[in-house]
Amino acid sequence: MDNMEATFTVLIMSIGSSAAMAMGLQADPQTGKTEVDKPLARFNIDLLTLLKDKTKNNLTADETNFLDAVITDLKNKFIALK
């Protein structure tokens, strides 16, 4: 992780990855286990939505499009959870 740059996109991916893990879409890298935690998934999606609201008009078009795409994708996957 020495070469990772702290960018807005990395922040979005980090929160999005946490949401995906909480929905059981990817395994926890520390345990290798896949578990569903709907409240945690919802919380992470809500964090991204809050970030979108608080950064409105302060992002590049690419950042806005990426954030919108991640939120939409995660919301659709959340709705599809059983």
Whether 3 is covered by a domain: the verdict is no
Q: What is the mean pLDDT of residues 1-19?
A: 89
More confident site: 73 or 82: 73
Distance of CA 47 to the CA centre of its chain: 8
66's tokens: 């990426």
Of 47, 45, 5, nearest to 21 by C-alpha is 45
1 belongs to a structural domain:
no
Task: Return the pLDDT at 3.
Answer: 78
Q: Which of 73, 70, 78 is nearest to 11 (CA)?
A: 70
Our count of domains for the chain comes to 1
Residues 34-62 have pLDDT tens digits of 999 999 999 999 999 999 999 999 999 99
Separation CA 61–CA 11 (nearest Å):
16
Please report whether residue 2 resides in a domain: no
Q: Are 12 and 73 spatial neighbours (Cβ–Cβ below 8 Å)?
A: no
Residue 21 lies in a domain: yes
